[in-house]
Amino acid sequence: MSDTTHFGFQTVATAEKAGRVRQVFDSVADRYDLMNDLMSGGLHRLWKRFALTRTGLRPGQTALDVAGGTGDITAGLCRQVGRDGRVVLTDINAAMLANGRRRLVDRGIVGNVAYVQADAERLPFAPESFHCVSIAFGLRNVTDKAAALRSMARVLRPGGRLLVLEFSKPALPLLEPVYDAYSFRVLPWLGSVVAGDAASYRYLAESIRMHPDQETLRQMMGDAGLEDCRFHNLSGGIVALHLGFRY
C-alpha cells in the first residue's frame, strides 16, 4: 500500500487517514441520523430497505454489519435472523458504536445482537463465521478498501454473500451537475446549521467523489475472492448496491 492516500480531495499520509476519519465521525455522531434524513430527503431508508431484501438470510443464521454506525441495517438483520440467530454490529468509531447500541436497545432489539469495535480491514472473527456480511455507507471511508473487502470475504461462510451499499457515480449525465451543486453547496451548509460542522460534511461529499465507480468496485470484489459479483443502481446511480457471493 502507498505511503499516501486521499482524505476527501486532500493527499495525506496513509497512517493518518483512520484518525482523521475517526475525528469526522466523533464530530457528527450525535446528529448523524438527523443529518442522513435531511441530506437524502429520507431516501437512505429506502436504499437500506432495498439492501435488506437482498441478504438471503433465514431465521437462526448469523450476520455481520460492518461500519454499522447507528444500527439501521443491524435492526433489519436482527429481524431476519430472529431470536435464534445472531447479528454482530461493528464500527471502528466508539461514539458511533455507542449510539448504535443505545438506539437498538431503545427499540427493544436485544438478545440476538452483539457489539464489537473493529477495523473493517482486520475483522477479529474466525473464517467462515457469517451467512451474510453488510457494509452500508462505510467502505468509502476505509483506508485500504481492497484489504477490507478481503477481510469481509474471509469471514463469509460458503454460500454466503457480501452486500456493499454505497454512494456511487450517477448513471444519468444530466443528474451529475445537479448532484455536484447539491453535494458541495447544500451539504456543507446543512452540516454547519444542523451539526455545527461544515468541514466534516465537505469531506463526506469529497469522499464520495473519490470512491470507485460501480464497475471498478465490482472488479475489486472479484479480486477479493468473491464470485458472481453484480450491482444495482439506485436513484439513478447516486447509490449502488453491490453483491458478491462466496461459493
pLDDT of residue 206: 92
CATH of the domain at 157: 3.40.50.150
**Total structural domains within the chain:** 1
Cβ 64 vs Cβ 132: under 8 Å: yes
**143-197 pLDDT, tens digit each:** 999 999 999 999 999 999 999 999 999 998 888 899 899 889 888 898 888 778 8
More confident residue, 188 or 83: 83
Task: Give residue 120's pLDDT band: very low, low, confident or very high (50, 70, 90).
Answer: very high
| Residue 12 maps to a domain | no
State whether residue 71 is helix, strand or coil: coil
Query: What is the arithmetic mean of pLDDT over 97-119?
Result: 96
pTM equals: 0.92
Give the pLDDT of residue 1. Answer: 66
| Rg from Cα positions in the chain | 17
Please give the grid coordinates belonging to residue 237.
446511480
In whole angstroms, give the CA distance from residue 7 to residue 205: 11
Q: Is residue 9 part of a domain?
A: no
Q: What per-residue string of b and e applies to 98-113 under the rule 16 or more CB within 10 Å gives b?
A: ebbbebbeeeebeebb
Angle at 7 between CA 5 and CA 8, to 5 degrees: 125
pLDDT at residue 223, as a whole number: 98
Percentage of the chain lying above the pLDDT 70 cut: 100
**What is the tens place of the pLDDT at every residue in 33-68?**
777 888 888 899 999 999 999 999 999 999 999 999
Is residue 1 in a domain?
Answer: no
Grouping H, G, I as helix, E, B as strand and the rest as coil, residue 150 is helix
The Cα angle at residue 204 between residues 199 and 209, in degrees rounded to 5? 125
Cα–Cα dist 53/185, whole Å: 33
Question: Which range, of 32-41, 102-111, 201-210, averages the lowest pLDDT?
Answer: 32-41
Residue 31: give the domain boundaries: 17-245
